[in-house]
Amino acid sequence: MAEPTGAERDAGPESGLEPESGPARDAEAVSKFVESFAAQLVEAGMQRMPARVFAALLSSDSGTMTSVELGEQLRISPAAVSGAVRHLAQQHMVAREREPGSRRERYRVHSNQWYEALTSREAVIKRWEYALREGVDSLGGDTPAGRRLAETLAFFEFVDDEIARMMDRWRVHREERFGGG
Amino acid sequence: MAEPTGAERDAGPESGLEPESGPARDAEAVSKFVESFAAQLVEAGMQRMPARVFAALLSSDSGTMTSVELGEQLRISPAAVSGAVRHLAQQHMVAREREPGSRRERYRVHSNQWYEALTSREAVIKRWEYALREGVDSLGGDTPAGRRLAETLAFFEFVDDEIARMMDRWRVHREERFGGG
DNA sequence: CCTTAACTTCACAAGTTTGTGAAAGTAACG
DNA sequence: CGTTACTTTCACAAACTTGTGAAGTTAAGG
């Protein structure tokens, strides 16, 4: 083996599991948060493994974890990590980085990145708008149903625009309150 | 039988199915919109039957349909209608009304109501905030992870507030553009 | 108060999703 | 250029979901 034993990075003095060991980082507290936050994300419609991986990354000190670390924290197979990360990367909720001089990858939450991803359900809304426009056309804008669809469409157009402005304001607000990042 | 045959309200001259019959309301066009809009809602994470029922209601002229009408339009069993409506009612996306002097119920989309429901993922966001607050407390607000969680929390608090304002603006905008309703 | 229309609940079969172990692919390092 | 650490893909079993028919419940109308 080229490296010690791998995966000893966070483990340190964590052999016994006394409730109150509380060294640098209390693994139990972290795990409790990870699982409860992930559960809420799942309730809101996110898939389980992506939610758990995401929560784990969010509560790591560096904001990055390797595949092995994720597997240990969450007690899941490398295959499950791989699938979850692929999903999250597609949604732009995590970035993948190659650790230089190693064959490990690290996965990272860019805080910024994920706010944007969350609010920019853009693609989704655009498709709703498209379907609604088709509906207005085919049912006729002068029928009661057509008018209802047109109004719904107007609502989404409005929301679209407003959300973009809101995110501009957030960036300012955030800068003031938390500085760079 | 007390009433004609029930469910003859929309059917009218719709016996044959020539592509171009286009009388009062082209059943085929309606169905096409219903299914395509429902499909988009499903993509976005909504369950199938609720999505289809919702789309059907949205594209009805009166904004209301009975259980039988929904069953016929969507070709699903009364049980499926019942389940879907229960789901939608819980989310405040449809209202149930008893048709006076009959044992039928009618289900209605209040256009308003559903905008509110869609944006007021409130309950969801509140629970995220709660979980995040717990996380900040247990990991410590002075740790890097704690700071990340605190910032995420701040983001949701910001969004919460902004969405409320946005909906106020929408009500005004809507009033101007579409009048009462 | 009995009959019956309308809705709901329930148990289950069919279909879909999820996470795994094993095998295959990729790239760092000697 | 072979070896080995790491990641991804794949086929499948287990778990969960979904929609149905049938039985059960509620309440309108006689």
| Domain ranges across chain B | 27-109, 120-178
- A-chain residues within 8 Å CB-CB of B139? 25, 29-30, 33, 59
pLDDT score for A23: 56
Q: How confident is the model at residue B20 (pLDDT cuts 50, 70, 90)?
A: very low
CATH node for A27-110: 1.10.10.10
pLDDT score for A24: 66
B20-32 mean pLDDT:
74
The answer to whether A33 faces chain B, any CB pair under 8 Å, is: yes
pLDDT at B14 over 80: no
The protein footprint on chain C, as nucleotides within 7 A of a CB, is 5-11, 17-22, 26-30
A21-49 mean pLDDT:
85
Query: Is B27-109 in CATH node 3.40.50.300?
Result: no
B1 CB less than 7 Å from any atom of strand C: yes
pLDDT score for A35: 95
Residue nearest to nucleotide C17 (CA to C1'): A47
Q: Which residue of B has its CA nearest to A126?
A: B40
Distance of residue B3 Cα from the nearest chain A Cα, in angstroms: 27
At A115-136, the pLDDT tens digits run 877 776 677 889 999 999 999 9
Burial class (CB in 10 A: 0-12, 13-18, 19+), A15: exposed
B82 CB less than 7 Å from any atom of strand C: yes
